[in-house]
Amino acid sequence: MNAIELEHVSKHFSTFTLDDISFTVPMGAVMGLIGENGAGKSTTLRLLLGLARPDGGEIRVFGTDNPDKEHIGVVFDECCFPETLSARDVGRVLASAYKTWLPDTYAAYLRRFQLPEKKKIKDYSRGMKMKLSIAAALSHDSRLLVLDEATSGLDPVVRDEILDIFYDFMQDEQHAILMSSHITSDLERICDYITFIHQGRIRFSEEKDRLLSRFGVLRCDETTLRALDSAAVHGVRRTNVSVEALVERERVPASLTVDPVTLDEIMVFTAKEA
Amino acid sequence: MNLIISNASGQPIYDQITSQIKGLILSGELHAGDALPSMRALAKDLRISVITTKRAYEELERDGFLVSIPGKGSFVAQANLELVREENLKQIESRMQECIALAAQSGLSLNDLCEILTILYKGE
């Protein structure tokens, strides 16, 4: 079964249009949604979570267009709990909000993250707030975890802890994660699939490994670049002294040296091309 | 079991996993029936995606090095000596090709090469 299916989803705003968005997140998989600020990542997640209605297309979570929200854990970039509450208070509130609330799981996460139960949230650091949000999202029998820019602005040590939690969560193959980010960080190590949104449209959605092996960076001069099959070139960056191009390895002559590419570079080159 | 994955090497990660596990089986460090970590546990330990470990295990299974039992996990296959021999032979051939290329660069003849091999083989 698929955790998430989006088919030809569109949403129009006065200044921005999300156009023909389709992708699938299978159960047991982690999808990274990447793209620059304002590309349409958050709008896509809001549509998915039912916080906004699409103008067209179909959205299914757990195979239905009306999924049980009890099993979806959500983490936004800002901690959305009232600042005057403590972690213990948050637990009490959520216990009455979710039928599936697991107080022992929540308590275990607070211990694991070393979050003081009685301290008010306004006195938490950004990393602590984010860990609290994740603890809450994972404590109501969540099978799907949706994160919107949740880890931007966190230090590498905290990101590493969070990566560990995601891996633990994904030990169950009936779980799935969809996370959006405008920075391609170490967290993407866990991603099985990558969907890249640019100016409201999907540029590609495929297996991360395949993507990274399909593309490469060619550093060359204008003459060499012009000689290439134009279908092989997916973006060019020019300076006074050299030319860099994002190329499809299979479509350029084997005699040329093509360097490995990072997701960041794919994003930058592709954004420039459009 | 030790696996060392390098992000800097040009070799795809699934390929690094398969070749190292094959190496561990051929060297006798892993024995028939030994349990391997689950694909999800290995992904966590190596900090890579599950799709990558899945692909590595599938290739090992296809090549007869692993058997997967649904619900139980993946195990080292009963040693197929013929298979192991063939794999070794392939490796020997490919390394000898490298020797030949090096010899050609240095102007060594077939006789020179044979002489070196004979000396090394006899451990003189």
Question: CA of A163: which chain B residue's CA is closest?
Answer: B47
Which residues are B100's β-sheet partners? none
Confidence at B115, pLDDT banded by 50, 70, 90? very high
Tokens 């699939």: give the residue: A193
> What whole-number distance in Å separates Cα of residue A56 and Cα of residue A3?
20
Q: Classify domain B13-76 by CATH number.
A: 1.10.10.10
Distance of CA B119 to the CA centre of its chain: 27
* B 57-76 residues with CB < 8 A to A: none
Which among A28, A163, A164 is the nearest to B50, CB-wise? A28
> What whole-number distance in Å separates Cα of residue A164 and Cα of residue A53?
34
* B 2-31 residues with CB < 8 A to A: 10, 12-14
Domain segments of chain A as ranges: 2-199, 211-273
Is residue A29 within 8 A of residue A178, CB to CB? The reply is no
- Please tell me the pTM assigned to this model: 0.84
The pLDDT, as a whole number, for residue B91 is 87
> What whole-number distance in Å separates Cα of residue A148 and Cα of residue A46?
10
Within chain B, how many helices (H) and strands (E) appear?
A: 5, 3
> What whole-number distance in Å separates Cα of residue A117 and Cα of residue A90?
10
Tokens 């060594």: give the residue: B108
Percent of chain B at pLDDT > 90 equals 52
A170 touches B: beta carbon within 8 Å: yes
> What whole-number distance in Å separates Cα of residue A54 and Cα of residue A210?
31
Which residues are A271's β-sheet partners? none
CA distance B64 to chain A (A): 24
Which among A28, A189, A213 is the nearest to B48, CB-wise? A189
The pLDDT, as a whole number, for residue A98 is 93
Residue A196's CB is within 10 A of a number of other CB atoms, namely 24
- Predicted complex ipTM: 0.81
3-state class (DSSP) for residue A229:
coil
Confidence at B56, pLDDT banded by 50, 70, 90? very high
Pick B124 or B38 by higher pLDDT.
Answer: B38
| Yes or no, beta carbons of B51 and A171 under 8 Å apart | no
- Residue B48 φ/ψ, nearest 5 degrees: -135, 180
The pLDDT, as a whole number, for residue B81 is 65
Answer yes or no: is pLDDT of B11 > 90.
no
Which among A167, A207, A213 is the nearest to B44, CB-wise? A167
Q: Classify domain A2-199 by CATH number.
A: 3.40.50.300
- Pairing mode, if any, of strands A30-34 and A193-198? parallel
Which residues are A2's β-sheet partners? A26
Residues of B in contact with A28 (CB under 8 A): 50
Domain segments of chain B as ranges: 13-76, 81-122
Confidence at B87, pLDDT banded by 50, 70, 90? confident
Mean pLDDT, consecutive 10-residue segments, chain A of 274 residues?
95 92 96 89 92 93 90 87 92 93 94 93 90 93 92 83 92 94 75 93 92 91 88 89 90 88 87 68
Tokens 């170490």: give the residue: A186
> What whole-number distance in Å separates Cα of residue A220 and Cα of residue A259?
11
CA distance A12 to chain B (A): 35
Average pLDDT over residues B56-78: 91
Question: CA of A194: which chain B residue's CA is closest?
Answer: B49
